[in-house]
Structure 1
Amino acid sequence: MTDLSKLPVTVITGFLGSGKTTLISHLMRNAGGRRLAVVVNEFGDVGVDGEILKGCAIPDCPEDNIVELPNGCICCTVADDFIPTIERLMALEPRPDHILIETSGLALPKPLLKAFDWPAIRSRITVDGVIAVADAEAVAAGRFAPNPAAVDAQRAADDSLDHETPLSEVFEDQIACADLVLLTKPDLAGPAGVAAARTVIGTQAPRAIPVIEVTEGAVDARVVLGIGAAAEADLDARPSHHDGADDHDHDDFESLLVELPEQADPGTLVARIEALARSRNILRVKGYAAVQGKPMRLLVQAVGARVRHQYDRPWAAQEVRATRLVVIAEHDDIDPPAIRAALGA
């Protein structure tokens, strides 16, 4: 049983654009009386997810309880960033009842769990559970591990093919570390896609893991919070491609900040993002756009060639109206001049 004197933390992991921020926004508003704090770990230079969540702040999760750690993986900067952040949240008055950590979409969850063994916090905090958020449509399409059965067969037949693509390793590590998988966007996947995604997850999971379908992040907090897994003490049951490694890095991925002037037409910007994703295998584009004649800021979030955009809030008086987008791709697909030109810079 979890030591009730320890502050519970839920780690929310998942691939780019899977719906982690939407889930946390829902939990903030429907926490079942818990006072929450949130840590957001971004990959890139524009804090999109942190800004969204701060816009959702409520009395049980005020803006001061939402901390953003940009540029990199928190498990790589434990002493400098992660531990001081957790200690600051634990010192808040009133103290939070529960902390949510949204990892970067490129993060490996197991090294983060190991960080909870640091002497400064290990007696005061516990990982209540690890929630993996998976996009049903994307998983069903095999974007993370294309034809896993065929890959396994090839590996068995030829030792020179024992590697995986970086994206599939990230996905598999997230599933292997999870206590619960939330399968998002089931409406886009359809019944057949959801069934296919469940099969993929079941194949990747090292043990039986509950899988729940979720639309727009709407899940009962009683299902997600209060699992009592003490995951930091259960690492052996959560295998990783990187077990035994002294460290890890994210050199396979790069992010590029693209700054643009005000946009005359959101549709043109969306079309450019879609074309860029198809031509250069871009994984993620996220950021904000200023649209001529519009007092509201346009939030832009793209996963591959699927682009979602909406006006999220008015521009503040002190803000510069500009378009700032973070583009994330594998290392070989980042060509700054080509990407900037494709986006109209």
Structure 2
Amino acid sequence: MTDAARIPATIITGFLGAGKTTLVRHLLETARGKRLAIIVNEFGSVGVDGEVLRSCGIESCPEENIVELSNGCLCCTVADEFIPTMQALIDRAAPPEHILIETSGLALPKPLVKAFGWPSIRSRLTVDGVIAVVDAPAVAEGRFADDPEAVARQRAEDPSVDHDNPLAEVYEDQLMAADLIVLNKTDLIGTEAGERLKREVLAIVPRAVKVVAAQEGRVDADVLLGLGAAAEDDLAQRPSHHDALDGAHEHDDFESFVVVVPEIGDPDDLLARLKSVAEAHDVLRIKGFVPVAGKRLRLAVQGVGARFRSSFDRPWPDGAARQGHIVVIGERGLDRAAIEDRILG
């Protein structure tokens, strides 16, 4: 499939408080009717960012097109939640024309970019660009984030984070993955400090990228969208502090697919089938959610090897189809047909 036929996605990265949500909100206001969807990687039980964006009232991005992923740092939960969410968006009768992904402040962008190479979505999506939002006053003072203690709390509250990099390394990873860097809140620092910060930023990035100064995240959609970077095919030019590690974020030797599950009657029976799949097919992880007859809440299931747990986590969205998605992850060569048959009973 050509790039023109694939839905473009923009990844927006930056520390907590850098102004990502404000940037996205302004982008919505200047999108000129383009049909957008937004994925917000929010933490905790109350999705503050999602609520802020929903209050925009932008016709081209209705409330149902704003999806919150609150189960952890996206770069650490790519296969578990991000992939099926993207598949659900592009499978809609009227799919979005562009997808915005606002990551958490702790997310390492490169693993997320690499996820677009997964077979299940590669032919239908492309990374139009990675936007790094920099808190200019904080970085100018060597703090990287406006409130480092809040970032530390964010890290402590997210059990899925499997990287514990110093903030400086996360900051550099965000810059080195970027196609466009937004120096936000430049009105709060002097012109000389702003120029010095721009030089420091460009010294970190190993390739030519544009740096844009902004106040209160005011950068038009015409600047942010349509970069055509195809970042998933340009990984070698986006170095990361994780590149030399033991492959904690690599997935080249693994595959993942999603099984769509209709409403079930007996959760215990489903868990027994999932356990038998894991044991018979050497599956590494199984995770997802399913509707249960007579239950308003969806049943979330998670298995590592043959160990499984489940819980009712949150209500089904009003008007949403009651069908579940089970993600199966293992080494390449899984017998997908046999696994699907067993899960579906």
For Structure 1 versus Structure 2, the TM-score category normalised by the shorter chain is: 0.5 to 0.7
Q: Distance in 1 between matches of 2:36 and 2:20?
A: 16
Task: Tell me by how many angstroms 1:248 deviates.
Answer: 4.8
- Aligned pair count reads 231
- 2: CA distance between counterparts of 1:215 and 1:242? 32
Deviations 1:95-135 (A, max 9, x none): 21100000000100001011111111001000000000001
Residues 55-111 of structure 1 deviation map (CA, whole Å, 9 limit, x = unaligned): 114220000000000131223222321111101111233221100000000100001
The CA distance in 2 between the partners of 1:108 and 1:182, in whole Å, is: 17
Task: Provide structure 2 residue ranges, at least 5 long, that are not aligned to the other structure.
Answer: 146-163, 250-345
| SS in structure 1 at match of 2:232 | helix
Report the TM-score when normalising by structure 2.
Answer: 0.64
Give the structure 2 partner of residue 182 of structure 1.
Answer: 182
Q: Which letter maps to 1:206?
A: P
SS at match of 1:120: helix
> Within 5 Å, which residues of 2 pair with 1:9-20?
9-20=9-20
AA aligned opposite 2:218: A
| Cα separation, partners in 2 of 1:191 and 1:248, compared to 1, 3 Å | farther
Deviation at 1:31, TM superposition (A): 0.6
Q: Deviations over 1:262-287 (max 9, x none)?
A: xxxxxxxxxxxxxxxxxxxxxxxxxx
How far apart, CA to CA, are the structure 1 residues paired with 2:221 and 2:23?
A: 10
Task: Give the CA deviation at 1:14.
Answer: 0.7
Structure 1 position 18, deviation (Å): 0.6
Measure how far apart 1:245 and its partner are. Answer: 3.0
- What residue in structure 1 maps to residue 115 of structure 2? 115
Give the whole-Å Cα distance in 1 for the aligned partners of 2:30 and 2:17.
Answer: 22
Shift of 1:43: 3.6
- Quote the residue 1:64 is aligned against: 64
1:2–1:230: 8 Å Cα contact kept in structure 2?
no
Counterpart code for 1:101:
I
Report which stretch shifted further, 190-199 or 174-183: 190-199
Partner SS state of residue 242, structure 1: coil
Conservation of the 8 A alpha-carbon contact between 1:43 and 1:72: yes
Structure 1 length-normalised TM:
0.64
Letter matched to residue 237 of structure 1: Q
Aligned pairs (5 A) from 1:26-45: 26-45=26-45
Conservation of the 8 A alpha-carbon contact between 2:135 and 2:144: no
Q: 1:235: Cα distance to partner? A: 0.3
CA 1:125 to 1:246, structure 2 compared with 1: closer, same or farther past 3 Å? farther
Q: Conserved in 2, the CA contact under 8 Å of 1:137 and 1:193?
A: no
Residue aligned with 1:143, SS = coil
Alignment map for 1:85-234 (pairs within 5 Å):
85-144=85-144, 166-234=166-234
Check conservation: 1:181, 1:212, Cα contact below 8 A. Answer: yes
Asked if the contact 2:26/2:220 (under 8 Å) is kept, the reply is no
CA contact (8 A) 2:11 2:129 kept: yes
Paired letter, 2:42: E
Q: Taking every aligned residue pair, what percent have the same amino acid on both sides?
A: 61
User: Shift of the alpha carbon at 1:49?
Assistant: 0.9
> Which secondary structure does the structure 2 equivalent of 1:217 belong to?
coil
Distance of 1:42 and 1:7 partners within structure 2 = 23
Decide whether aligned partners of structure 1 residues 2 and 177 sit closer, same or farther in structure 2, where only a CA change above 3 A counts. Answer: farther
Letter in 2 for 1:97: E
Asked if the contact 2:33–2:59 (Cα under 8 Å) also holds between the matched residues in 1, the reply is no
Deviation at 1:244, TM superposition (A): 3.8
Task: Give the distance between the partners of 1:218 and 1:242, measured in 2 at CA.
Answer: 32
Contact 1:136–1:193 under 8 Å retained in 2: no
Alpha-carbon shift at residue 2 of structure 1 (Å): 6.7
Superposition CA RMSD, Å: 2.0
Aligned partners of 1:2 and 1:229 also within 8 Å: no
Structure 1 residue 247, shift from structure 2 partner: 4.8
Q: Partner of 1:241: helix, strand, or coil?
A: coil
Q: Does 1:237 align with 2:259?
A: no
Cα drift, residue 178 of structure 1: 0.3
Answer whether contact 2:133 2:181 (CA < 8 A) is retained.
yes
Q: Distance in 1 between matches of 2:104 and 2:59?
A: 26
**Equivalent residues of 1:137, 1:197 under 8 A apart:** no
How far apart, CA to CA, are the structure 1 residues paired with 2:20 and 2:2?
25
Q: Aligned residue for 1:53?
A: 53
CA distance in 1, matches of 2:83, 2:56: 25
Matching of residues 234-273 of structure 1 within 5 Å: 234-248=234-248
What is the rounded CA distance, in whole Å, between the counterparts of 2:202 and 2:2 in structure 1?
27
The gaps in structure 1 that reach 5 residues or longer are: 146-163, 250-345
CA distance in 2 between partners of 1:2 and 1:166 (Å) = 39
